[in-house]
Amino acid sequence: MSEIVFIDGKFYPKEKAKVSVFDHCLLYGDGVFEGIRLYDGCVFRLRQHIERLYSSAKYVAMEIPLTIEEMEWVVLETCRKNKLEDAYIRLIVTRGEGDLGLAPWLCRIPTVICIASKISLYPEEAYANGLSIITAPTQRMSVAALNGRVKSCNYLNNILAKLEGKNAGVSEALMLNSDGYVVECTGDNIFIVKGNALITPPQYQGALLGVTRDAIVELGAELGLDVRQEPFTRFEIFDADECFMTGTAAEVVAVVNLDARTIADGRPGPVTKKLCKLFRERVSNDGAMLSTKAPAPKRISTIWAK
């Protein structure tokens, strides 16, 4: 069966799901998005993802034409139409169709797209053995340029760092800011463990406020760890007891080597393993259930017809 995609109030087979070549997301990367997971019929922390989407849209001065509740329905109904119980969901809001100029105010109405598909994760050996990564030469953009808290469709900064990781033969790369402090990886947040402390970079340095990151912060506190959000450098990673990344696709995966320095004994540590286990136990009951159905909001079919 062909995948079903939501675009501007209607559902289309994948082959017919199209947007205008004048859409400003295509022309300028002018849009925001969310990557969301569906676990055993539960869309993990859907409300938190959607609230972050609306925060990103507010930052770029984009008014999303749907209410939060309507957007939740779009996500859930897209999963239902694709008959999925486990999936990766990509929710996108673009500036919409305009002209070839830069002016966003000439775009009449934002475009809303929702895709639900099967997901390709890190191979199981990555979770069993951990990952080796490198520090990318490309620095993370300054928060004064484009705040990393905005999940923007302009991902070139991350893509360049991802290419540098691939060129070095690894699947991920660490990104630093201009002062040499750790911010995040190209697609994941990062944590270190030192003694009883669980530490992740603070939001003011431009790290994405990841939904998985937030869950791990909560779980760490439940385990009695001293959870901190504070700056650290590569040195603290080299010297850490454990290091791991978190993300919607990655979940929780250990980092055992950075820039040819082995971290601790070079194996996933006990805190990482425990947090990964607890996270996986929580995901299928912490969110919006597909089984809870609501009628289609009548307004959705009329918004883009105006």
Q: Do 94 and 14 fall within a single domain?
A: yes
Q: Do 146 and 52 fall within a single domain?
A: no
Residue 167 forms part of a structural domain = yes
Check whether 244 has a pLDDT greater than 70.
yes
Residue 296 forms part of a structural domain = no
Q: Which of 11, 145, 148 is nearest to 79 (CA)?
A: 11
Q: Do 108 and 133 fall within a single domain?
A: no
What is residue 281's three-state secondary structure?
A: helix
Catalytic residues: 151
Tally of domains in the chain: 2
Residue 250 forms part of a structural domain = yes
Pairing state between β 10-13 and 31-39? unpaired
Domain around 132: 124-285
pLDDT in tens, 258-305: 999 999 999 999 999 999 999 999 999 999 999 988 888 989 989 998
pLDDT in tens, 123-171: 899 999 999 999 999 999 999 999 988 999 999 999 999 999 999 999 9
* 191, 151 contact by CB (below 8 A): no
Residue 301 forms part of a structural domain = no
Residue 257 forms part of a structural domain = yes
Q: Do 273 and 146 fall within a single domain?
A: yes
Q: Which of 129, 128, 121, 127 is nearest to 262 (CA)?
A: 129
**DSSP single-letter state for residue 121:** -
CATH code of the domain covering residue 154: 3.20.10.10
Residue 293 forms part of a structural domain = no
Q: Do 104 and 142 fall within a single domain?
A: no
Q: Do 129 and 230 fall within a single domain?
A: yes
CATH code of the domain covering residue 72: 3.30.470.10
pLDDT in tens, 85-100: 999 999 999 999 999 9
Q: Do 111 and 128 fall within a single domain?
A: no
290-277-148-257 Cα dihedral, nearest 10 degrees: -150
Band of residue 306 on the pLDDT scale cut at 50, 70, 90 = low
Measured over the CA atoms of residue 202, residue 203, residue 206 and residue 207, the dihedral's sign is positive
Check whether 204 has a pLDDT greater than 90.
no
